[in-house]
Structure 1
């Protein structure tokens, strides 16, 4: 065979590989009619789904999708999802949970992240039915192209391409969607101005991997604004607020330096927090996550090679008013992810050696009350995990940066072990259960 024919053959094979290996570049959920979901395979094209109507594990799940430039594939999709949830939230108390997937995932009906998110929604619905306040659980799965190439091994080369895409998605339309979801959660309170009722609806947002980067990019400015709260005529101090009630980032793939300002303002003067302060941001990173702990800093070494960095004079808090000076190497913070930068780690999550069987009607208010009584270097036992305070922040700091034991999260994508799902359920219930009772 001539060289010319070899070149033609190779070109043809590469073309076929490229065409068959590209991830779908279009929305998956194109049917906007509500659909009752009972088992895997149901409602494959539907953007609005209802699981187990009238049962203790009832929940709603809807999909909103973005393209590579951070634009909604169809604004009509978002509108239909919001329009389906508004009447529910206007009548009933709701717990709305939004999830943004990461690298190698999308809104494909067979995507494993969707199945795992359903498990979390089921646990939350059961907790609400038995030990909670009976809120309806509404889920929103925010999809984007987590892979540009689907061929195994080869798609590992998409890491930096998808990192850039994640930042575009976070900088564009996701913020609008999250603020509109917050509007839904608040709609009932706005309708009850004549006879106000206790405000029980809550919003939780979760992002994994580059989905964590999407979420943090979309919310960073909002979180800073709501912590400081510079509204006109403000004459009081209160609890720090966030977007909705809790933001959770799992193995997030973004630089620790991007978290610096938020961490600094929460540590300012080693101020105290009210006992009513609940968690607003929780970052969970596996100690064995090689994607964010090993590959990420190698890539950042080359991409920051010509940048200049300095050393920052900052401090830890050994207690209220107990300032402990420390130095932050900007270069290290710019090359390592937020969960693998030791100066910013505040907690560690370990498995418990033994777990106590919970009753069906477990008291989540008691769990919330116990949270308010934390101590520096103390521990907090959940159902099957233990959260250890590392002594770098004052108790009740609303921002938690948690190193997770490898037996709970092994590597980058293994985030849905039963123990972690239970931990997320409890943290969500702590952060969202209304009517906190503090001793």
Structure 2
């Protein structure tokens, strides 16, 4: 698929808008509208020209073979897969190039990290159009390769998380949220399952973790929840135990997920109804949310409320719910549908599977963190050793609802200071600790 340059795209959009303006002018004059009134309307539409020219690329950034695959270090590589605004795979050839690279890199055990970015990001190289997360992911992969001493491959699954290049962030929240839901549909499910199957088929010793941040967490949860539910239902009906190799990843992790807790409640119910407490002794999916994350604790619920009730905004909000149902007996533990719908999963206490406590201070390097956290299991919880602090994560005291393989874990601000602080050494250590629980 030929990709037009940025100037070509802008010229095409400008030409299109000029044509529409001329057609409107001819219609207005022929319909009896006076000249000055027609000119005033056209002038009011001029900002649309600038809005259109501020749009980010709709046809992807990494379609050519030389841009699809990157060599970051001798033992570290990166591949790109792009999904468009309507949730369709931009190029199947691009996906096949990445799966072929996975097979080629699997001559020795490979650690594969599949990452789905969030709001205001994409696969661009320019910061103004959404490149920040890609840069940080590259650096994390290189650091991980040095710390672990093993072969590492990242896959950056990108979508149009940023729609406007030169406008303030925030104005496109509702339709980016809707886009994330589309991306997490058929194509998102297809991509994640094919990547996982390619890695498992190439070398049974490969380790696979799939990570989604913010709205990327919503993409991951949306893409995986229905397929997980289907697998759980079928295996349960056949009397089979769940096996980790039947899923596309050893562990799926959402970070500061910008998604309603109502969807997490549904997946938890799938496990709870069948009495499934773990998958081969550990978690299958984990939702990690920093207690310092202002975006998902305050901004998201406000946006959800506005999108539900404010005319003009609720048009874009796919989170508008129908009637809520109450179940007084079980809602005491898991919370109500209404409360779950109004909160993100990481700030909805009734669904928490763990709590944390600080144990001590320490000083450790990234390499030491990687090795320290390779065996994190402890009794009914796990230990995470950070750069400066050690924390224990354990099950809540007394009665609690979430005893399933889908862990929902609040994490201290020391591991993630803000919504976008996901690739610091402390968090990489936390990721290594949770991966150790899947062996």
TM-score (norm 2): 0.77
Alignment of 1:50-69 (within 5 A): 50-53=71-74, 58-69=75-86
- Structure 1 contact 223–243 (Cα < 8 Å) conserved: no
SS, match of residue 147 in structure 1: coil
Unaligned runs of 5+ in 1: 34-45, 190-198, 317-324
Compute the displacement of 1:144 (Å). 0.6
Once residues 354 and 239 of structure 2 are traced to their aligned partners in structure 1, the CA distance between those partners, rounded to angstroms, is 33
Alignment of 1:30-429 (within 5 A): 30-33=63-66, 46-53=67-74, 58-89=75-106, 91-110=107-126, 111-129=131-149, 134=150, 136-153=151-168, 155-188=169-202, 199-227=204-232, 230=235, 234=239, 242-267=247-272, 277-301=281-305, 302=308, 307-313=322-328, 326=333, 328-348=335-355, 354-357=361-364, 364=371, 367=373, 369-371=375-377, 373-375=378-380, 380-384=383-387, 385-391=390-396, 397-428=404-435
Once residues 305 and 203 of structure 1 are traced to their aligned partners in structure 2, the CA distance between those partners, rounded to angstroms, is 35
314 and 240 in structure 1: CA distance in 2 versus 1, 3 angstrom threshold: farther
Once residues 192 and 213 of structure 2 are traced to their aligned partners in structure 1, the CA distance between those partners, rounded to angstroms, is 16
Once residues 22 and 148 of structure 1 are traced to their aligned partners in structure 2, the CA distance between those partners, rounded to angstroms, is 6
Once residues 96 and 325 of structure 2 are traced to their aligned partners in structure 1, the CA distance between those partners, rounded to angstroms, is 46
360 and 164 in structure 1: CA distance in 2 versus 1, 3 angstrom threshold: closer
Q: Deviations over 1:318-368 (max 9, x none)?
A: xxxxxxx6252111111211112110122345777522536968895x855
Q: Deviations over 1:360-394 (max 9, x none)?
A: 68895x855551x423xx66232345243241669
Compute the displacement of 1:175 (Å). 1.0
Unaligned runs of 5+ in 2: 1-35, 309-313
Q: Paired residue for 2:32?
A: none
Compute the displacement of 1:221 (Å). 1.6
Once residues 54 and 370 of structure 2 are traced to their aligned partners in structure 1, the CA distance between those partners, rounded to angstroms, is 50
Residue correspondences, number: 385
335 and 145 in structure 1: CA distance in 2 versus 1, 3 angstrom threshold: same
- Structure 1 contact 63–142 (Cα < 8 Å) conserved: yes
Once residues 367 and 427 of structure 2 are traced to their aligned partners in structure 1, the CA distance between those partners, rounded to angstroms, is 19
Compute the displacement of 1:411 (Å). 3.6
202 and 305 in structure 1: CA distance in 2 versus 1, 3 angstrom threshold: closer
Structure ID, larger Rg: 2
Q: Which moved more, 1:100-109 or 1:174-183?
A: 174-183
* C-alpha RMSD over aligned residues: 3.3
SS, match of residue 229 in structure 2: helix
Once residues 402 and 52 of structure 2 are traced to their aligned partners in structure 1, the CA distance between those partners, rounded to angstroms, is 54
